[in-house]
Amino acid sequence: MNRPLNRCLIFDFDGTLADTLGEGLKIYNDLAREHGYTVIDPEDVEELRNLDTKRLLSHLGIPKRKAPFHLVTAMHRLRDRIRKLPLIEGVREVLPALRDRSEHMGILSSNLTENIETFLDAHNLREQFTFISSIGKLSGKARHLRAIARTFSLNPQEILYVGDEIRDLQAARRARVKAVAVTWGFNSRESLAREAPAFLVEHPRELLDVV
């Protein structure tokens, strides 16, 4: 018996599909030195994985009002390097099956659409996704999730949002969308679990049990 189609599966990009953490850390530290923020030692990353966005910005000494400007700067610097960055291990193998099981499969990210397109083209994966939505800032994903629901005439409960950060799960909750937390990205398993996502997965192949 064929499995019924999932209505809409949406992925975060950085840390969920693309392994951008190492390069992102280099770019952040360059910006930190330029603007006098706290430089992150690689040994400190594990501790920082427990922090949500607000606490992380406070810890690093970044004023909230300046975060959108720095994010755009970082994303533009990433543009020249993103083609060489790897996929999260195990993602390539599951995407075709997930696409077959979904009416719509897309990406909602704070990264730039151009960066996402370049990365997907480099890995020959663009055809797997029906849409890409970029918000260009750290907040606002809930509003975009609601907009996607309207675009495809979906009930929010017919959408699954897959993300690796606390803010992804919080956005899904505000939009009344089911959240799938993945533990291979930025935030720690423990911090993600505290947000009570609908699903918590340790490896990309486990997404096949969710969708």
Q: What pLDDT, in 10s, does the model give residues 133-171?
A: 998 666 789 999 999 999 999 999 999 999 999 999 999
Our count of domains for the chain comes to: 2
Containing domain of residue 35, as a range? 21-83
In this structure, the answer to whether residues 159 and 174 fall within a common structural domain is yes
Strand partners, 190: none
In this structure, the answer to whether residues 181 and 100 fall within a common structural domain is yes
Does 160 map to a domain?
Answer: yes
Does 1 map to a domain?
Answer: no
Q: Please tell me what DSSP assigns to residue 3.
A: P
Distance CA 144, CA 154 (A): 13
In this structure, the answer to whether residues 115 and 190 fall within a common structural domain is yes
In this structure, the answer to whether residues 122 and 63 fall within a common structural domain is no
**Annotation says 12 is catalytic:** yes
Q: What's residue 1's pLDDT?
A: 43
Which ranges of the chain have pLDDT less than 50? 1
Q: What's residue 5's pLDDT?
A: 73
Does 14 map to a domain?
Answer: yes
Among candidate residues 12, 14, 19, 168, the one labeled active-site is 12
Largest CA distance in the chain: 60
Q: Is the pTM of this model over 0.85?
A: yes
What's the CA dihedral at 47, 48, 50, 54 to 10 degrees? 150
Q: What's residue 23's pLDDT?
A: 95
Q: What CATH number is given to the structural domain containing 165?
A: 3.40.50.1000
